[in-house]
Structure 1
Amino acid sequence: MRRPAAEEPGHALNRRGLLLGAAALGGSALLSACGAEKAPLVGPPPVAPPTSPTPLTEAVTVQKMRSAARNRDVNLVIIAPDGVSRVGLPVCVALHGRGADARTFLNLDVQNALNQAVSAGLPAFAVAAVDGDNYWVDVGKADDPQRMLADELPGWLSQRQLRPPSAMFGISMGGFGALRYAREHKNLKAVAVASAALFVSWSDAKSRKVFADREQWESHEPLLHTGDLSASSTGVWCGSSDPFARADRKLIKAVQPAVGKMSEGEHNDDYWRGIMPEMMKFVAERLA
Structure 2
Amino acid sequence: MRRAAADGGGHVVSRRGLLLGAAALGGAALLSGCDAEKRPLVGPPPVAPPHSPAPLTEAVTVQRMRSAARNREVNLVIIAPDSASRVGLPVCVALHGRGADARTFLDLGVQDALNKVVAAGLPGFAVAAVDGDNYWVDVGKGDDPQRMLSEELPGWLAQRQLRPPSAMFGISMGGFGALRYAREHKDLKAVAVAGAALFVSWPDAKSRKVFADRAQWESHEPLLHTDELNGDATGVWCGNSDPFAGADRKLIKALDPAVGKMTPGEHNDDFWRGVMPEAFKFVGERIT
- In the superposition, the TM-score normalised over structure 2's length comes to 0.91
Judge conservation of contact 2:46–2:63 (CA < 8 Å) in 1: no
Task: Give yes or no for the alignment of 1:187 onto 2:187.
Answer: yes
2:263 match = 263
1:194-233 map, 5 Å: 194-233=194-233
Cα–Cα, structure 1 residues 253 and 13, in superposed 2: closer, same or farther, change >3 Å? Answer: farther
SS of match in other structure, 2:82: coil
Judge conservation of contact 1:44–1:101 (CA < 8 Å) in 2: no
Structure 1 residue 10: deviation in Å? 12
Cα–Cα, structure 1 residues 144 and 11, in superposed 2: closer, same or farther, change >3 Å? Answer: farther
Structure 1 unaligned residues grouped into runs of 5+: 1-6
Task: Give yes or no for the alignment of 1:41 onto 2:40.
Answer: no
Cα–Cα, structure 1 residues 256 and 52, in superposed 2: closer, same or farther, change >3 Å? Answer: closer
1:72 match = 72
SS of match in other structure, 1:139: coil
- After superposition, give the CA deviation of every residue in 1:164-185 in whole Å (9 maximum; x if it has no partner): 0000010000000000000000
1:2-41 map, 5 Å: 14-16=13-15, 17-33=17-33, 37=34, 39-41=35-37
Stretch moving more, 50-59 or 164-173: 50-59
1:98 match = 98
Count of residue pairs the alignment pairs up: 277
Structure 1 residue 31: deviation in Å? 1.0
C-alpha distance in 2, partners of 1:44/1:127? 24
C-alpha distance in 1, partners of 2:141/2:185? 24
2:283 match = 283
C-alpha distance in 2, partners of 1:96/1:219? 21
C-alpha distance in 2, partners of 1:188/1:11? 36
Judge conservation of contact 1:13–1:61 (CA < 8 Å) in 2: no
Structure 1 residue 18: deviation in Å? 1.3
Structure 1 residue 287: deviation in Å? 1.4
C-alpha distance in 1, partners of 2:70/2:11? 21
C-alpha distance in 1, partners of 2:136/2:86? 27
SS of match in other structure, 2:92: strand
CA RMSD for the aligned pairs?
A: 2.2
Structure 1 residue 62: deviation in Å? 0.3
2:3 match = none
2:273 match = 273
SS of match in other structure, 1:286: coil
Structure 1 residue 94: deviation in Å? 0.3
Cα–Cα, structure 1 residues 76 and 29, in superposed 2: closer, same or farther, change >3 Å? Answer: same
Judge conservation of contact 1:30–1:268 (CA < 8 Å) in 2: yes
1:171-182 map, 5 Å: 171-182=171-182
Structure 1 residue 29: deviation in Å? 2.5
SS of match in other structure, 1:29: helix
Structure 1 residue 42: deviation in Å? 2.5
SS of match in other structure, 2:30: coil
Structure 1 residue 13: deviation in Å? 6.8
Task: Report the AA paired with residue 95 of structure 1.
Answer: L
Cα–Cα, structure 1 residues 185 and 13, in superposed 2: closer, same or farther, change >3 Å? Answer: farther
C-alpha distance in 1, partners of 2:188/2:222? 16
Instruction: Calculate percent identity across the aligned residue pairs.
Output: 78
Task: Give yes or no for the alignment of 1:249 onto 2:245.
Answer: no
Structure 1 residue 57: deviation in Å? 1.2
C-alpha distance in 2, partners of 1:10/1:197? 40
Structure 1 residue 52: deviation in Å? 10
C-alpha distance in 2, partners of 1:282/1:130? 21
Structure 1 residue 84: deviation in Å? 1.8
- After superposition, give the CA deviation of every residue in 1:53-78 in whole Å (9 maximum; x if it has no partner): 99931000000000000000000000
- After superposition, give the CA deviation of every residue in 1:7-37 in whole Å (9 maximum; x if it has no partner): 9x9999733431321233333331111xxx2
